């Protein structure tokens, strides 16, 4: 699943190319196109009616969620196009006369002839025009680049916490201190805390494993058995690894994770543990181990990240 760096790479590309350009038409292609618009109660016709004639006023991200607030007649509306990439969703900006693509599900045509395509091979992603609601804390809804983000977010995202790259969650802020306290009050393993999008958003399996390796913590270490400095160090590691991934376009293991121009990120070349089973740890040389974790895998160094006493071998 794409995580914060991959979604932010897409957001930044959309912000550079599609804002303030009127929408002329929306085509939902076939039954699989209908599947990715399934959350729009009126289906393809409603999606088209709520987009045509409007413009994208900004591109905003919170954690793994991306939305484009809509404007009409020069003024903002209280709606946005919510984009969820799912497992294989791609927002692409083709040029010229693009060849038909088997995974094209929705095409948005701009009044100046520009195209915004949503591809989705597995059709777990979705597009929906949805209402914006006030943020619970009164702060900006998310990160919008050089545009000011309004204190609003899609109703579907209202329960999602801020992410570690949000200025309101930066080191030294009260929100970061509150997150440390919440992790330390919980007896669950710290990886589960990192993956809880209602606690802190944007972190998925890849970057959680990388942050735990940097912080020398086992994924099952209970939060309530960690001193505050260790939790702060773990959050700093997660911030560091996601920032580094963002600088190179995210992590792409195959052609599914690409930016708006179809280019893959290459942070996979910098991973320390994720996907490196059997290869030597870069710190101590011990072979990296893969372990089952919540219907997926965790990767760790068994020497640098020792299992807590009482949690198995």
The residues near 287 (Cβ < 8 Å, ≥ 6 apart) are 277, 278, 279, 280, 281
Domains, the chain, in order of start with CATH, read 4-157 (3.20.190.10), 167-300 (1.10.8.50)
Tokens 């693509």 found at: 101
Among candidate residues 54, 64, 107, 221, the one labeled active-site is: 64
> Measured between alpha carbons, how far is 123 from 146 in angstroms, rounded to an integer?
31
> Measured between alpha carbons, how far is 204 from 220 in angstroms, rounded to an integer?
16
> Measured between alpha carbons, how far is 227 from 239 in angstroms, rounded to an integer?
19
Q: In the numeric block, which tokens belong to residue 210?
A: 């990388």
Encode pLDDT of 192-244 as tens digits.
999 999 999 999 999 999 999 999 999 999 999 999 999 999 999 999 999 98
Among candidate residues 38, 181, 225, 296, the one labeled active-site is: 296
Check if 2 is active-site. yes
Closest CA to 129 of 105, 154, 150, 159: 154
Check if 296 is active-site. yes
Check if 3 is active-site. yes
Q: According to the model, what pLDDT value does residue 145 have?
A: 95
Tokens 């580094």 found at: 244
Q: According to the model, what pLDDT value does residue 248 have?
A: 78
Residue 254 pLDDT greater than 90, yes or no: no
Q: According to the model, what pLDDT value does residue 263 have?
A: 55
Residue 79, strand partner residues: 131
Encode pLDDT of 93-126 as tens digits.
998 888 888 999 999 999 999 999 999 999 999 9
Encode pLDDT of 20-41 as tens digits.
999 999 999 999 999 999 999 9
Q: According to the model, what pLDDT value does residue 266 have?
A: 43
């Amino acid at each position: 699943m794409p995580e914060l760096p991959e979604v932010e790479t897409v957001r930044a590309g959309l912000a550079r190319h599609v804002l303030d350009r009127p929408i002329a038409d929306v085509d939902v292609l076939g039954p699989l196109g209908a599947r990715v618009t399934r959350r729009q109660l009126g289906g393809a016709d409603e999606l088209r009616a709520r987009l045509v004639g409007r413009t994208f006023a900004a591109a905003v991200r919170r954690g793994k969620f991306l939305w484009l607030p809509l404007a009409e007649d020069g003024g903002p509306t209280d709606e946005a196009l919510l984009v969820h990439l799912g497992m294989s969703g791609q927002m692409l900006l083709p040029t010229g006369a693009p060849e038909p693509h088997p995974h094209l599900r929705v095409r948005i045509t701009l009044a100046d002839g520009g195209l915004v395509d949503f591809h989705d091979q597995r059709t777990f992603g979705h597009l929906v025009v949805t209402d914006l609601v006030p943020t619970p804390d009164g702060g900006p809804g998310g990160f919008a680049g050089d545009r000011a983000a309004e204190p609003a977010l899609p109703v579907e995202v209202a329960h999602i916490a801020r992410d570690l790259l949000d200025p309101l969650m930066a080191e030294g802020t009260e929100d970061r201190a509150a997150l440390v306290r919440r992790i330390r009050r919980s007896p669950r393993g710290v990886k589960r805390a990192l993956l809880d999008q209602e606690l802190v958003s944007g972190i998925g399996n890849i970057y959680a494993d990388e942050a735990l390796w940097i912080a020398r913590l086992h994924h099952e270490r209970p939060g309530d058995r960690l001193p505050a400095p260790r939790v702060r160090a773990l959050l700093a590691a997660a911030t560091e690894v996601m920032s580094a991934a963002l600088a190179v376009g995210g992590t792409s293991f195959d052609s599914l994770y690409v930016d708006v121009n179809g280019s893959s990120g290459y942070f996979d070349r910098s991973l320390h543990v994720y996907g490196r089973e059997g290869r030597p740890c870069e710190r101590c040389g011990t072979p990296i181990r893969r372990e089952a974790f919540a219907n997926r895998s965790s990767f760790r160094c068994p020497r640098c990240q020792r299992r807590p006493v009482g949690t198995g071998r």
